[in-house]
């Protein structure tokens, strides 16, 4: 079995098709006695919907994939060199590009008949952010075989503030800004708090969705493993039944052969006795003739 080809095929299937196809290949490899293939294929994990959407995007939109990989190299280089200008420019591109590419990624998935919810789209964006943050994740992502959304390194991609003007370049202190009117200040604070609460609730809902998705994924993996064990047990029972049937057939054949041999022995015994009697009569006749 060509394991590499099997893996490539499996991660191109829709998530709900993955487990059955994988188990079928495991059964085929087990029947062929290919233990290495059994181990490699049975260990493959079903991708989450977001990971599958991302994998499909990698397979079908290579130009966009190259664009994201190039932006990731620019961002990581800016962080390594701590170049404020490059970091501001790359960070500004980052959110726009990720949001746009996530929407683009939903297109092929929907064309393939897979619905893409807002929660899934959010996880696709997280995958793209992680790709930008880590060269290792980018390399793994580019294979089109992700299983779930990787975590984005903390603090990566934050926009760097403008460098403060040195005090010597600002001889005259600027006039203090007028304090906003109490009502306007209160309204602004309330709006900011409302936005913060909305953002917190959205993040909590997205986290809950991801947790549920992970729980579903784990349950499906357990079910898949159990089904694979059932298949293996069924195959063992079938093989033992076949061996038992062959042994019973061999036993019957041996009994038949033994019966035939016993019959032949009896006939040979009778023939030998008849021959001895005939020999005795001939000898007696000969003796009488001699007298």
Question: Is pLDDT of 61 > 50?
Answer: yes
Task: Show contacts of 15-18: CB within 8 Å, 24+ apart.
Answer: 15/46, 15/47, 15/48, 15/49, 15/52, 15/114, 18/46, 18/47
What average pLDDT score do residues 191-201 get? 67
Question: Is pLDDT of 17 > 50?
Answer: yes
Q: Over the stretch 220-256, which tens digit does the pLDDT of each residue have? A: 555 655 555 565 566 667 777 778 788 888 888 888 8
Contacts of 266 (CB under 8 A, 6+ apart): none
Q: Over the stretch 85-129, which tens digit does the pLDDT of each residue have? A: 666 666 666 778 888 888 888 888 888 888 888 899 899 999 989
Contacts of 123 (CB under 8 A, 6+ apart): 48, 49, 50, 149, 206, 210, 213
CB atoms within 10 A of CB 43: 9
Q: Over the stretch 32-50, which tens digit does the pLDDT of each residue have? A: 999 999 999 999 999 999 9
User: Of 138, 68, 135, nearest to 99 (Cα)?
Assistant: 68
């Amino acid at each position: 079995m060509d394991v590499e080809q099997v893996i490539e095929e499996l991660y191109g299937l829709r998530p709900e098709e993955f487990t059955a196809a994988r188990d079928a290949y495991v059964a085929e490899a087990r029947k062929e006695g290919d233990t290495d293939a059994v181990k490699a294929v049975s260990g493959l994990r079903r991708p989450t919907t977001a990971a599958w959407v991302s994998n499909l995007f990698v397979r079908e939109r290579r130009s966009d994939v190259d664009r994201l990989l190039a932006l990731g190299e620019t961002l990581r280089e800016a962080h390594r060199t701590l170049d404020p200008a490059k970091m501001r420019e790359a960070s500004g591109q980052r959110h726009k590009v990720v949001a746009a590419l996530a929407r683009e990624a939903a297109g092929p998935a929907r064309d393939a008949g897979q619905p893409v919810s807002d929660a899934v789209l959010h996880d696709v964006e997280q995958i793209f952010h992680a790709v930008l943050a880590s060269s290792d994740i980018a390399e793994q992502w580019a294979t089109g075989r992700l299983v779930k959304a990787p975590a984005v390194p903390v603090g990566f991609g934050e926009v760097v503030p403008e460098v403060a003007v040195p005090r010597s370049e600002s001889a005259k202190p600027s006039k203090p800004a007028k304090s906003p009117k109490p009502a306007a200040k209160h309204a602004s604070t309330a709006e900011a708090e409302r936005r913060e609460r909305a953002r917190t609730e959205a993040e909590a809902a997205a986290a809950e969705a991801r947790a549920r998705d992970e729980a579903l994924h784990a349950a499906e993996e357990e079910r898949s493993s159990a089904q694979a064990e059932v298949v293996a047990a069924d195959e063992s029972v079938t093989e033992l039944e076949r061996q038992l049937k062959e042994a019973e057939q061999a036993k019957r054949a041996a009994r038949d052969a033994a019966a035939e041999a016993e019959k032949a022995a009896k006939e040979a015994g009778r023939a030998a006795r008849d021959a001895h009697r005939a020999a005795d009569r001939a000898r007696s006749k000969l003796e009488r003739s001699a007298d």
